[in-house]
Structure 1
Amino acid sequence: MTQPIPKSGWRETFRSIFSGRMLVALVMGFTSGLPLLLTSSVLQAWLKDSGVSLAAIGAASLIGLPYTLKFLWAPLFDRFTLPLFGRRRGWLLLMQAILAAALVGLSWSNPATNLWGVALAALLVTFFSASQDIVVDAYRRESLRDLELGFGSALFVNGYRIGMLLAGGGGLILADLLSFPVMYQVMAAFMGVGIITTLLAREPTLPPGAPRTLKSAVIEPFVEFFKREEAWLILAFILFYKLGDTLATAISTPFYLDLGFTKTEIGAVVKLFGFWATILGGTLGGIWILRLGMYRALWTFGILQMLSTFGFVLLAHLGPHLTGLATVVAVENFTGGLGTAAFVGFMGAMTDKRFTATQYALLSSLMGVPRVILSAPTGWMAESMGWSLFFLTCTLMALPGLWLLRRFKGWTEPANA
């Protein structure tokens, strides 16, 4: 039976918030988010600047496949322990060092003369970045107590977004001021923040029953998970909890343009204002999870997410009203931050500490299905249904996740809560 996820008193809450474990979660989120855009939007800008064709730039999206397929080699990190620094920190230091070296290697390539060399170097960056993510997720699960997972996950996600902001916005500015190769070398240097943090962090205690063979590391995580009575409900919940919110935001930019907002208004309000609303939501969400417990937090944040999605329906009738846009974006991003904090903490709590790397890699891959696959027909849906009906449908898509949540009460909060 899955262990319940408790809530804490005020003294325990403050002790958790200001612990070194939370600082480690924040920094590790930063080093996980930093490489992501360096091999997607920033790389696309470099390719375009070098005269590479649009067809080749589009095909470069395949470089991101390791992020989707990372569960295939995740068992290696559960099975093997390197000679130095322990089971998690040893692998983490190695992946961070190689990732920094891969970024330097990417800076030495030239898209104008050797496109395949750039593709190979970028693929190495995404592979080692995805590998770092596997170990970071496992470390966070094993180093935090169950009641701390919500807040720790919120800080991790916030750090992740800060890393993306530095690489995406800061990277393009640096490339404009200096050059793309120098920018990639600067970003490689930022990985030193993660390396220092890993050296100073504590190694989690190795749980009893950890796999002793590669075969058991591959097979036992699946056997353990699917032997649970609630296994399929967990998978369905992960798929549905943020489905409506994800589908609504997947095609929000064309919606804003159709309403008549300018690109400057969208950039200022949606990208900058929305970013800080998400950070605030994630931070407060983590704190509230400590106070409410996971079950009540998932219910509260899920309902707020659903109501914020309905805000798009209201905006569709309101038209190009800048205050309306700012309000809808702020509320949607704030509640999205709340929901993500609880959602990521929930996934961590659903893993067995003996197989954290493998099980979390599987669950996080499933979490990306709505964003990558189910979002594909959103444009066709909006064209066929109209914006108002489309967003109303997205609002109602939150109901299956909330209905499934009723089944989890017995093991997402303690009996005395």
Structure 2
Amino acid sequence: MSDAGTIIFDGWRGPLILALPPYLAFGCSLGLLQVAIPSILQRQGLPVESVSLVALLLLPLCLSVFWAPAVDRFALTRWGRRKSWFALAQTMVVASLLVLAFSGPDRLSVLLAAMLCLSVGAATMDVILDGTLAETAAGKTQAIRGGIKVTGMLTGTVLGSLVMIHLIEAAGWVSGFAVAALFSALAALPLVFARIDGEAAEARRVPSVLSFIRRSGNGLRLVLVVVVGLALGIGLSAPRLVMIEQGYALTAIGWIFGTAAPLAGALGAVGGLVLGDRIGLPRAFGASVLLFVLSASSLAWHFAGGGGAALFPAAAIALASFAYAGIYCVVCSLAMGWVATNQSATDYAMVQNGWLLAIVAGSALSGTVLAQTGLLVLPASATVVAAAAVALVLVDASSAARIARSGV
């Protein structure tokens, strides 16, 4: 039992109070790394080729499974496994932001080193939060927990990109990053001072990445998650290329993909959280997939007619981002039921890394697929998403029933 007055990871209130603020800070770091810092560097004259290489600093977010076993096994202090690693990761994040603040944009080598540390710290913090939520999830709370992750991450990304760019322009580089550092520090406080039931300082056995794949149904689940992510990456990236090809104004394209789509994604995450809790994860999955199919089909029809005003594709692309967030909510929530309690961070990182790598690969392949298939890429990618989503729900239900019958 928890001490009186402490907040634990029970029900939905505990995860909301403890995990949402750090996930917002995590998303803010993503927004800075993906959008705000590269945009400012390019505006200050850094060549486009060099700015594009900054994206490599996001690789730790896709490779965190390699150090997730250490997070599962070792406790760095008497605080326990989760809280000790969380304190270290968040300290890295805050320290990196302060280095960015006081080094300025002109000292490129220091800036890149600080960005790499920020990426590693944020990725580690994400692993810790995911593992904690997954390890303590039970029954209906899965839908809430996956929704909290995606809502915090996508909303924080908007803060770190759109809001931070305006803040840095208005208040200056030092003040902007100092505010980001303060926000990240404050976001960590609820979890640092909370009690997590079941936390212990002793080490566990070394987690095995392969044990996740060998567990009933998980190998096929992971494959289907990757297929969904790959098709989504293609379907979300192809419209931008088509709009450029059809001569839409670059300012309109930038507004659609830089402002409207991220805001719609943040709203979609909230919608996915609510739907998953109210109607169940399979139905929420189906609703989000149907919205994505509708968006992709509408865009294909519009572009086939030669394009036109940017308002229609803006609405359809915003709908696609809304649907993507809902789909991601369900995937995150379902994955919390696939982990082993003694290596939840490692198991969950397998799913998250597979998903992110698939999205990145789909985005990279979208131009090639578009060149080969034309506008068919839009309904085709949506069809693949729908088919893989149905298969994932069926496999998940079958594996869960098999485990229940065997009593494992």
Q: Which moved more, 1:39-48 or 1:244-253?
A: 39-48
The total of aligned residue pairs comes to 392
2:159 pairs with 1:172:
no
Structure-1 separation of matches of 2:326 and 2:242:
24
Contact 2:98 2:177 in 1 (8 A): yes
Q: In the aligned structure 1, how far is the partner of 2:297 from the partner of 2:202?
A: 47
- Give 1:217's aligned residue: 206
Aligned to 1:405: 393
Change over 3 Å in CA distance of 1:123–1:211 after alignment to 2: same
Cα distance in 1 between the residues matched to 2:233 and 2:129: 24
Query: Which residue, out of 66, 80, 92, partners 2:60?
Result: 66
Change in Cα spacing, 1:326 to 1:232, as seen in structure 2 (3 Å) is same
Instruction: List per-residue Cα deviations over 1:55-91 (Å, max 9, x = no partner).
Output: 4333333222221221111111111123343321222
Q: Secondary structure at the match of 2:317?
A: helix
| CA gap 1:408/1:66 in 2 versus in 1, 3 angstroms | closer
Alignment of 1:6-405 (within 5 A): 19-112=13-106, 114-206=107-199, 212=203, 216-219=205-208, 221-223=209-211, 225-318=212-305, 319-386=307-374, 388-398=375-385, 399-405=387-393
AA aligned to 1:79 is: R
* Contact persistence 1:24–1:197 (CA under 8 A): yes
2:132 partner letter: Y
Residue aligned with 1:39, SS = helix
Shift in Å, 1:104: 0.6
Amino acid at match of 1:42: A
155-164 or 355-364, which moves further after superposition? 155-164
Whole-angstrom distance in 2 between the partners of 1:177 and 1:404 = 47
Q: Which runs of 5+ in 2 are unaligned?
A: 1-9
Which structure 1 residue ranges, 5 or more long, are not aligned? 1-14
Q: Distance in 2 between matches of 1:412 and 1:237?
A: 16
- Structure 1 position 260, deviation (Å): 4.4
Q: CA deviation at 1:323?
A: 4.7
Code of the residue aligned with 2:71 in structure 1: it is F
- The CA deviation string for residues 341-388 of structure 1, in whole angstroms up to 9 with x for no partner, is 1111112221112101111112111011222223322112212322x2
Taking structure 1 as reference, are residues 122 and 340 closer, same or farther at Cα in structure 2, changes over 3 Å only?
same
Aligned-pair CA distance for 1:137: 1.0
In structure 2, the CA distance between the partners of 1:197 and 1:27, relative to structure 1 (3 Å rule), is: same
Q: Give the alignment's TM-score, normalised by structure 2.
A: 0.86
Corresponding letter in the other structure for 1:93: A
Q: What letter is aligned with 2:329?
A: A
Query: What CA distance in whole angstroms lies between the structure 2 residues aligned with 1:303 and 1:227?
Result: 32
Residue 232 of structure 1 deviates from its aligned partner by: 1.9
Return the alpha-carbon distance in structure 1 between the equivalents of residues 289 and 47 of structure 2: 43
2:5 equivalent in structure 1: none
Tell me if the contact between 2:135 and 2:340 (Cα under 8 Å) persists in the aligned partners: no
- Aligned-pair identity in percent equals 21
Contact kept, 8 Å, 1:245 with 1:336, in 2: the verdict is yes
CA positional deviation for 1:249: 0.8
* Cα distance, 1:284 vs structure 2: 2.7
CA RMSD of aligned residues (A): 2.8
TM-score, normalised via structure 1 length: 0.84
Q: CA deviation at 1:94?
A: 2.4
**C-alpha deviation, 1:179, in angstroms:** 2.5
Preserved CA contact (<8 Å) 1:46 1:180: no
